Amino acid sequence: MNSILRLSFFLLLLILVSFGTSNSFAAVRPPNIVIIFADDLGYGDLECYGHPSIKTPHLDRMAAEGMRFTDFYVAACVCTPSRAALLTGRLPIRNGMAGGQGRHVLYPNSPGGLPLEEVTIAEALKTKGYATACIGKWHLGRPKEFLPPAHGFDYFFGIPFSNDMEPEGKLPRNASGLTEPDPKWWNVSLINGKEVIEKPTDQATLTKRYTEEAIRFIRENKKKPFFLYLPHTFPHVPLFASRDFYGKSARGIYGDTVEELDWSTGQILQALQKEKLDKNTLVVFTSDNGPWLVKDLTGGSGGLLRDGKGGTWEGGMRVPAIAWWPGKIKAGTVNRELAGTMDLFSTALSLAGVEEPKDRIMDGVDMTPMLLGKGASKRDMHFFYYGDELYAIRKGQFKAHFVTHDGYSKEPPQRHDPPALYHLGHDPSEKFNVAPQYPEVIAQILEEREKHEGAMVKREPVY
C-alpha cells in the first residue's frame, strides 16, 4: 500500500513537473522578431502595392499570408532619423538624430551617432535573453563607439552608412544616377563587428551576402529568441544587383534590385519555415523613406502619393509595410489604420514581455492587439518633421501642412497660415486643399500642435 501510494505520488509529481515545465517553456520563449527594412523603396514599388512591371511574388505572398498596411508611416523622410526612430520608438527630435550642423543625415566625418543613452529594440530585448543582429546598412554613427555593437547588437555585418557616401575623388558627375556605375567609385566599407573586412565592397553581392548572414543567424539561434534587424542597402542609389538579377526585370536596374530584395525576403521566410520557427516569429517588411525621385530612372515610385524622399508630402513618409506571423496574423488582411515604424519598438517589447522605459517620452504605440485582430490601432495622429521642424500633422483622415517643400527642391519652403488641409481618404494624392471647408478640423489640429510643441524637449544633435 505504502509503495503504491509512493508510486502514485511520484507519478503525480512527474505530471505536475512536466506540465509546469512545458508551460513555463511557453512563457519564457517569447516570439522572434525580424524587421526587414528596404532603403528608399517607394509606396508604389511592389506588385502588391500596384507596380505594373516590378515582380515581387515573395512579398506578395507574405502579404497574402499576413497583413498589408495602407497607412503606415516612417518618422522622417531620410535615412538616419528614420532609422533612429524605428530602433528607439521615439521621434528623431527627441533622440538627437533629427539633423543638425546643416545636415539631415550622418556623414562619414560626423563625430556623433545615436546617443548611447537611447534604448534600442535590441538593447531592450537583450534583457530577456534575445540574440540580436544587425545585418545591413547602419547609418546611426560611424565612430566605433556608435556602431551596432554599442547599441545592443551581438552581431553586425554590413555597411556603416549609405552606399554613395565614401566616393573616391574621381567620381563622374551624376554617377549615382547611372545604371551601370563602377563599384570602385563608391569605395564602400564592409564591416564585421567593428572592423572593416572589405573596401571597396562588391556591392553587387551585398543583398545575397546579407541574406546568407541572416539565414545563418536564424539557424544558429533557433534555440533561443532572436531579434534580427535587416536594413538592406538597396534600392538606395547607386544600384547594384547580383548576376542572377541584373538585367532581368522589366523595370531596369531599379527593378532588378527590388526583385532581388523580394527574393531575399522569400529566402528568409522559407528558412523560418524550414526551422519550424514561422509560427513563433513576427516578420515585418517596410522601407525607411519614400522614393528618391530626383534620381530619375534609378529612383523609385510613390505610386499615387505626392512627391518622395526628402519631403513631408505623403510620398516621402508613407511606405509599404507587410507583417507576417502564420497562425497569429490573419492571412490576407489589409489594414487601413494608422501605424508606423515607431510602433515597432512598443510592439517588440510587448511581445517579449519587456517593460518600456519609464524615464522618457515614447512616441510609439503597441500594435499587438491590431496585429492579432484583437483591437483597433491606438494611433490616431502622425507628426511629419523635416529636420527638427514640424511641417505637418495627420489626425484621422485629415492632414494639415504648416510648411511644404518638395524633396530636394531648390525652392524655399512655403509657409501656410492657415495650414493647407487635405483629406487623405478622399484625396490620397494631396491635390485639393480643403482648408476653407473644415475650419473646425484646422482648429483641432492647431490645438494638437500647441500641445505637442509645448511639451517638446529637443535633444541637441551632434551631426
Return residues touching Mg ion (CB under 5 A): 39-40, 79, 288-289
Q: Report the residue number, 39 or 406, with the smaller CB distance to Mg ion.
A: 39
Q: How far is the CB of 39 from Mg ion (least distance, A)?
A: 4
Q: How far is the CB of 140 from Mg ion (least distance, A)?
A: 13
User: Among 139, 232, 382, 401, which one carries the catalytic annotation?
Assistant: 139
Residues 6+ apart with CB under 8 A from 219: 271, 275
Query: CA dist 433 to 303, 362, 442, 460, Å?
Result: 20, 32, 12, 35
Q: Report the residue number, 118 or 288, with the smaller CB distance to Mg ion.
A: 288
CA angle 167, 44, 157 (to 5 degrees): 40
> Is 79 a residue of the active site?
yes
Q: How far is the CB of 222 from Mg ion (least distance, A)?
A: 31
Q: How far is the CB of 17 from Mg ion (least distance, A)?
A: 52
Sign for the pseudo-dihedral over CA of 173, 175, 180, 182: positive
Q: Report the residue number, 120 or 289, with the smaller CB distance to Mg ion.
A: 289
Contact of 316 with 103, CB cutoff 8 Å: no
DSSP assignment of 362-400 equals ------HHHHTTSS--S--EEEEEETTEEEEEEETTEEE
Q: Is the peptide bond before 428 cis (omega within 30 degrees of 0)?
A: no
Q: Report the residue number, 289 or 347, with the smaller CB distance to Mg ion.
A: 289
DSSP assignment of 163-218 equals TTSS--TTPPTTGGG-SS--HHHH-PPEEETTEEEESS--GGGHHHHHHHHHHHHH
Q: Is the peptide bond before 238 cis (omega within 30 degrees of 0)?
A: yes
> Is 139 a residue of the active site?
yes
Distance CA 132, CA 146 (A): 16
Q: Report the residue number, 160 or 419, with the smaller CB distance to Mg ion.
A: 160
Q: Tell me how far the alpha carbon of residue 382 is from its chain's centroid.
A: 16
Contact of 95 with 84, CB cutoff 8 Å: yes
Q: How far is the CB of 256 from Mg ion (least distance, A)?
A: 18
User: Among 51, 58, 77, 79, which one carries the catalytic annotation?
Assistant: 79
Contact of 190 with 158, CB cutoff 8 Å: yes
Q: Report the residue number, 233 or 264, with the smaller CB distance to Mg ion.
A: 233
Q: How far is the CB of 310 from Mg ion (least distance, A)?
A: 10
Which residues are catalytically annotated?
79, 139
